[in-house]
Structure formats: C-alpha cells, structure tokens
Amino acid sequence: MNADYVIVGAGSAGCALAYRLSEAGHQVQVIEHGGTDAGPLIQMPAALSYPMNMSLYDWGYKSQPEPHLGGRELVTPRGKVIGGSSSINGMVYVRGHAGDYDHWAESGAQGWSYADVLPYFKRMETWHANGQGGDADWRGTDGPLHISRGPRNNPLHSAFVDAGRQAGYPVTDDYNGHQQEGFGPMEQTVYKGRRWSAANAYLRPALQRSNCSLTRAFVRRVVIEEGRATGVEVERGGKVEVIRANREVILSASSLNSPKILMLSGIGPAQHLADHGIDLVADRPGVGQNLQDHLELYLQMACSQPITLYKHWNLFSKAMIGAQWLITKTGLGASNQFESAAFIRSREGVDYPDIQYHFLPMAVRYDGQAAAEGHGFQAHVGPMRSPSRGAVTLASGDPKDAPNILFNYMSTEQDWVDFRKCIRLTREIFGQEAFKPFVKHEIQPGIDMQSDDELDGFIREHAESAFHPCGTCRMGAADDMTSVVDPECRVIGVDGLRVADSSIFPRITNGNLNGPSIMTGEKAADHILGRQLSASNAEPWFHPEWQQSQR
C-alpha cells in the first residue's frame, strides 16, 4: 500500500488535511485506530457525556499521580474513533484570542500570528448566526465546519450575561469575532441538530473522492530511511506491515500520541530513547515536553425555581428527548446545553482574557452524576494560561503501552493565586441582581469555604481537566533546540515528516482547542501544498483600560 501523503490519525487536524490534500488532487491515505462514529451516542449533542467515558471511543489514558493535586490520577480522554476528539468532545467552538497567535509568532512560530491564521478560521467555517447577532465580517460563510448557537431559551442563560454586565464586565455579541472579552452567547459545532465533528465536516466528503482512503490500523512507528520518512509501520489483523508515503508522512495523532510515535521512531530526547533501547534518528529534546492543559472547577448553585434541566433528569424524560431527536433532530437533544459563555481578565495589567466560563443550566458532573440538591446551575471556570508545564514520556519501547502523562498541574504559586481569583470572581457574578430570583444557596464549594487555605483544599480535591492537552511537539524556530517542528510543521532533523495537531501549539490558546486544532490542519495543508492565504488586516479588540483596570 502506498500514497502521496500518509496521515496518521483521523482527528480534528487529520480530517482537515485529508480534505485539503485530496481536494488538490493528491493520493491520500488516512490511518485511524478507532472505528465508526455512527449512532446516537456520538451524533446527538446532548449525549456528550457518554462517548467521552466509553472505552469503545476513547484511548482510556490517565495522568500519572499529580503531585500538587493530592496524588490524584486525572482521566485524559482522547478520541479513538473517526473524527478523533471532535467526536467525543463538548462541541464548544472557540477560535482563541488574537493575543494567543501573536504570542506564537513572537516565540518563533513565524507566519502564525493572528493576521496569518484568521483567514484560515474564515475559510474553514460556515457560520450560522441564527438571528442572534454576531460579527459577520469576521466569520466564514462557505467552509466545511458548521458553527451554530444554541436556542438559549432557558432564562438562566440571559441571567448569566446580565449578571456579568451588572458586575461591570463588557458584553460581547461574538467572542469569535472582533471582541472576545465579555459575556455573551456560546458557539457549538452542531449542524441541523447533529454533532458536526471533523469526520462529518471533512473526512466524509474527502472519502467521496477516489484519491482518498481510510485504513483502520494501529500505528507503531514512522519508518525512516537515510534521514527521510518513507512510510508508517502499522499493525492490523495481527500482522505488522508498512504503508508507504511517496511524498510525506504527517502525524496528526494528538498531543499524547504524536510525541509517543515520534519517540518510538527515534526522534526525541537522546537519553530517554537510549533508556528504552530505541535507536536515535534525531535528538530533539523538546519531544513530549511543554505539555499544557486547562484545569477547571464548577461552582454550583441551588436554584429556587424548577426551571433547570434537572426536570429532565429521569428515564422517561431522557427517552422522550432521545425520541424527538431521533425523529426530528430538534429539541433539547440538539444542543450541548453550553449556550452562554464569558471571557474575562483576572486583574489589571493582563492585556487579554485569562479566565473562561462555560455556563450550564443544571448542576451536574462530567461523569453524568446530578447534584443531590436537585434543581441547580453551574459555571465552569478556570485560568487560561497556567505557567505549569508537564511531559509525555515513554513507559517502554513497546508501542502497545500507553505513554506516561504528567501534567504537573498547579506546580507554581501563580496557579493557586489565579484559581482562588476565579472562585471569588464567580461568586461575585452569582451575587448580582440578575440571579436574585434564581439563587437559593451555593452547593459547591459551599459558602463556608472562604479563606485561601479552604479554597486551596477545594481546588486540590475538585479541579478537573477541561481535556485540552497540547504543546508536546512545540513549533518554533528551526535553530531552537526545544522546537520539534519548524513554522511549516516539518519535523526538524528528518525529511518528509510533519506534525500537525494541537501538539505543535507553542502555548495553549484561550478556550477550547477543537477550533484551533482544525485550523492547524487547514494551514498545514497549505504549507504542504506551497501556498498561503493573504494575511488579514482586521484589528481585534483589546480593553482600552487593560493596564489600569480588571473590567
């Protein structure tokens, strides 16, 4: 078997690459270990808590015991299915802030400033305002990825935005447009009531072409001959074989599996590879390092009116919602329920938002356990730019073994300062007039937890990953020893090999990572094809008083 381009991983970036490279007339072979995404558990937006917790669709990775979180091992879901993590995620769509990409460019990823990436975000989108306003000039109209907004029928969604305004924060009509900072409607990758994953948006149309095919197999390593990647060694049906690449191999296997495959292929920190008996091809100390993620908490409030989604938290109501969705693709089943959002700054002197909110009109955990109190609502909140860094390393030289993942969460004093601030700012928002008709009392953390020590204990016990791992194959200048890929996504020191997924992010972006990961696949495809879209001259909004005030 051979193709011009062999793409490892049918996830957010890999699907976009397959679509663009096959569109340009090249033979493309996509290799994916996971299986089909058919069925309501993945395709129904409201069922999002199911696929994330199913071994059928998830690699099942866990972190090492996290030393600053009381030794807890945190689950780290990654999609093992076509569409990758875009098939099991919460479907929240955030581009990230202009400041994120300008920081990338300043740290060595030339050509990835906001002016450079905005045209790719516009190319990939078809944006549906649904009559709810927004910045049409900043959005795309005919891309494969459909972006929509939930109906926002529940009065709690507008109470959240009103409370933000009353607390003195800006309101934004479109956080993916001119102004991210503020409170407003949240966007989701949902189209016609279905999860609009990278598989639905990109892979299915690509596979309609005769020059794009999908192979289900487990990738063991990249085959490198005389300094050039020539193919991929895979296992399928119990047999090991090689799929050849006439032009290039592209790893889009996630920020956990892409560095693992590089190291198994002899590309990584020399001593670490030697410890596992792997012959060195290229000494890249940055492979697996620079691991970042978003941590979050939810603050839960008991609701004094029976208007939350808790009234549907029973088998009969769930069955009715499921039936309506199956027949009409409408109703509560057609939204992820995250329909209001906010991005704010934690303090003066921070030039763009470093705290994100997801608001949910129900008090429920990620694993689907409802709060014992019954009717309630919650805000998911967490800092966006933690200074902590972790690593992905090999557990052994056996490709079948999961990698060792240590995020090293909360390893700096700044992490604790930022998280306490998140809790206190959220309490202030829930204390505004707009929530007076709805707030009964605070469920979690509980109003008795006020001191720094009490809040730290709560954070240590309850902080959860937002499932946004990235950074482990950092993109930067070719002469920087900590870089893994150059600004064209080429692995430094090996020909014919690229990495294109969230692992190349120099620093984590603001918000959820699915949008930036797809954009990475779109832009990497143009680097491979030797073309690029013209840079944008749009001027994003920064708070004019950011140096003096927090809001």
| pLDDT at residue 1, rounded to an integer | 83
| pLDDT at residue 400, rounded to an integer | 97
| pLDDT at residue 24, rounded to an integer | 98
Q: Cα dist. 36→9, 42, 227, 253 in Å?
A: 13, 10, 35, 17
Q: What percent of the chain has pLDDT over 90?
A: 95
| pLDDT at residue 364, rounded to an integer | 85
Is pLDDT of 90 > 90?
Answer: yes
What's the rounded mean pLDDT across residues 426-451?
A: 97
Band (311; pLDDT cuts 50, 70, 90): very high
- For the stretch 356-390, pLDDT in tens is 999 999 998 766 677 778 999 999 999 999 999 99
Is pLDDT of 429 > 70?
Answer: yes
User: What is the rounded CA–CA span in Å between residue 37 and residue 40?
Assistant: 9
| pLDDT at residue 53, rounded to an integer | 86
Burial label, 500 (beta-carbon count in 10 A; 0-12, 13-18, 19+): buried
Beta carbons within 10 angstroms of residue 323's beta carbon: 12
Residues in the annotated binding site: 81, 89-92, 219
* All domains in the chain, ordered by first residue: 3-529 (3.50.50.60)
| pLDDT at residue 55, rounded to an integer | 93
Establish whether 468 is a catalytic residue.
yes
Residues in the annotated binding site for FAD: 81, 89-92, 219
CA–chain centroid gap for 516, Å, is 8
The mean predicted confidence, pLDDT, of the chain is: 96
- For the stretch 141-183, pLDDT in tens is 999 999 999 999 999 999 999 999 999 999 999 999 999 999 9
Question: Which of 26, 157, 468, 543 is the catalytic position?
Answer: 468
Pairing state between β 404-406 and 391-393? antiparallel
| pLDDT at residue 367, rounded to an integer | 67
Determine contact, residues 320/311, Cβ cutoff 8 Å.
no
- For the stretch 478-494, pLDDT in tens is 999 999 999 999 999 99
| pLDDT at residue 366, rounded to an integer | 65
What's the rounded mean pLDDT across residues 444-459?
A: 97
User: What is the rounded CA–CA span in Å between residue 482 and residue 506?
Assistant: 10
pTM above 0.75, yes or no: yes
What's the rounded mean pLDDT across residues 30-46?
A: 95
User: What is the rounded CA–CA span in Å between residue 543 and residue 551?
Assistant: 8
| pLDDT at residue 132, rounded to an integer | 78
